[in-house]
Chain A
Amino acid sequence: MTIDFIINQFTEIIGNFPVAAFLVACASVGGLLFVLMALNAMVAVYVERKVSAFMMDRLGPMGQGPGLHAGKWGILQTFADAIKLLIKEDTIPKSADQILFKVAPFIIFIGAIIGLSALPFSSSIQAVDLNVGVFYIIAAGSIGVIGIVMAGWASNNKWSLYGAMRSAAQIISYEIPAGLSIIVPIMMSGTMNLQNLIEYQSGSIFGIFPNWIMFQNPFAFLAFFIFFISAVAETNRTPFDIPEAESELVAGWMTEYSGFRWAVFFLSEYANMFVVSGLAVAGFMGGWLSPIPGFLNSPVLGLFWFFGKVSFLIFVMMWFRWTFPRLRVDQLMYVCWKVFIPIAMLNIFGVGIWKLIFG
């Protein structure tokens, strides 16, 4: 999609060099995705701090910002954090497995960036428009767990190992309810392509409500909540943050990491939040369609709607963090295997019968 556009432009302006055009297009798209990832992490960290501060009735970061001394509102706080992480000493424990310890951040980062590449930001802006988009994003999302286990095991630290094992158990468990509930939009629309899936949701119900999949029938509404909660669990966010529970496991599987390697984990975590929210938005909440049916829909405004909806879901995740206490390991497994999976399976039957009766 965007790749094709850049290749066409390149061929028109410079000439017919297919390989060079492809490489330039890929590099520019990759660069843009990386910028998006970095900006997303920076803004999200700042917003998270401010939202936390607001919910706890305090000020949050106020120092760093425009203005020399005593800057305003702490806007540049995350920027300062990034510089700090870049010039920090990079220590690798002597007893750690040196190779796996260094490889792990790369795998986690790659899992995040290739997931991001398939998201439909607008009707014309999408890095790669895959015919199996939904399936692909679910698959890319589970690459990260390999990196997590690798990081935890290679650290040769008890906290890290515990964190990694818990994280692996949690992520793979919650992948199943997430996968079972994302089947519902595919069943209803009959496509795995994200653009077609969003186009299926255009129009309106009774002329006023948006025709989003989550409003089309009660089972889809339930599926959205199961998917979103499972997605929160998959990104290891509170209340499902037992893998990195500060009060029990120091920092979980990232205990031994410092400096930029640790920053990569942070970057990837926020990118993963973006990816799962993006998939929830595309699958259930109409993607780049405006919330008022048939009004203010254009490729550029689509970008605004998509980012607006994703930001809202990320805000809800932050809201969760200061609302719910952390779950215990057995409670976590209980919720996944004994509540979500049976409900998600029955949901598929429900949607199937609904579709057969109402068409």
Chain B
Amino acid sequence: MYRDFGTILFLVFMGIVLIYAPLVIQKLLAPNDPNADKLATYECGEESEGSAWVQFNIRFYVVALIFLIFDVEVVFLFPWAVVFNELGLLAFVEMGIFLLILMLGLAYVWRRSDLDWVKYNVKYGRGRYSNLYKKSQTIKGS
């Protein structure tokens, strides 16, 4: 087993060399004539406006959090699946309880509409979001 993973470690180093070698060849063969326009950030021909390192949509963070929970669950399922045939009903019931708890969690985030990319049922009845609330009601009604 150590030999197997040693091979993989070797492959990692070899991958670095295999990519680095063509890059060196490219350095020798390819023209190198940079100017300010070439090195500018591409924005469809327009002058680029500000940096791209800005705050990002919170949705991605929520997806990452939910992913983490379910991915850990999948990791627990792998060893269980290997011994499932030997343990039989007991293993099935135990993993069934575990899965049910997680499915409850999925139902919870589903009900809270954390799984929707565009969240419509926000609880803002007044102020600047009131039109959004009305919109969600019409969408639900239709």
| B-binding residues in A (CB < 8 A) | 3-4, 22-23, 25-27, 29-30, 33-34, 86-96, 105-106, 109-110, 113-114, 117, 127-131, 134-135, 153, 155-161, 165, 168-169, 172-173, 175-176, 179-180, 183, 186-187, 190-192, 250, 255-256, 259-261, 263-264, 329-330, 333-334, 337-338, 341-342, 345, 348-349, 352-353, 355-356
CB distance from A145 to the nearest CB of B (A): 11
In chain B, what residue has the closest Cβ to A83? B29
Q: Is the CB of A349 within 8 A of B96?
A: yes
Q: Is the CB of A117 within 8 A of B85?
A: no
Given contacts A27-B14, A87-B26, A176-B74, A157 and B83 within 8 Å (CB-CB) = no
Residues on B with beta carbons closer than 8 Å to the beta carbon of A25: 7
Given contacts A160-B52, A261-B23, A264-B19, A87 and B67 within 8 Å (CB-CB) = no
Q: Is the CB of B19 within 8 A of A87?
A: no
In chain B, what residue has the closest Cβ to A37? B18
Q: Is the CB of A190 within 8 A of B83?
A: yes
B92 within 8 A of A: yes
- How many chain B residues touch the partner (CB < 8 A)? 71
Given contacts A94-B39, A250-B44, A255-B42, A89 and B52 within 8 Å (CB-CB) = no
Tell me the chain B residues, 42-86 only, with Cβ under 8 Å from chain A.
42-44, 48, 51-53, 56-57, 59-60, 63-64, 66-67, 70-71, 74, 77-78, 81-86
CA distance A359 to B107 in the complex (A): 32
Residues on B with beta carbons closer than 8 Å to the beta carbon of A172: 63-64, 67, 71
Cβ-defined partner of B22 (8 Å) among A159, A175, A260, A353:
A260
B25 within 8 A of A: yes
Given contacts A26-B14, A30-B15, A190-B81, 19 further A-B contacts (CB under 8 A): A30-B10, A87-B26, A87-B29, A88-B26, A105-B19, A113-B14, A117-B7, A128-B4, A157-B41, A157-B52, A168-B60, A169-B60, A176-B70, A186-B81, A190-B84, A264-B19, A348-B99, A353-B92, A356-B88
Q: Is the CB of B26 within 8 A of A260?
A: yes
Cβ-defined partner of B56 (8 Å) among A4, A160, A165, A187:
A165
CB distance from B78 to the nearest CB of A (A): 5
Using a Cβ cutoff of 8 Å, how many contacts connect chains A and B? 213
Q: Is the CB of B78 within 8 A of A192?
A: yes
Q: Is the CB of B118 within 8 A of A156?
A: no
| A-binding residues in B (CB < 8 A) | 1, 3-8, 10-12, 14-16, 18-19, 22-23, 25-27, 29-34, 36, 38-44, 48, 51-53, 56-57, 59-60, 63-64, 66-67, 70-71, 74, 77-78, 81-86, 88-89, 92, 95-96, 99, 102-103, 106, 110, 115-118
CB distance from A45 to the nearest CB of B (A): 17
Residues on B with beta carbons closer than 8 Å to the beta carbon of A155: 41, 52
Q: Is the CB of A89 within 8 A of B31?
A: yes
Cβ-defined partner of B30 (8 Å) among A27, A168, A259, A353:
A259
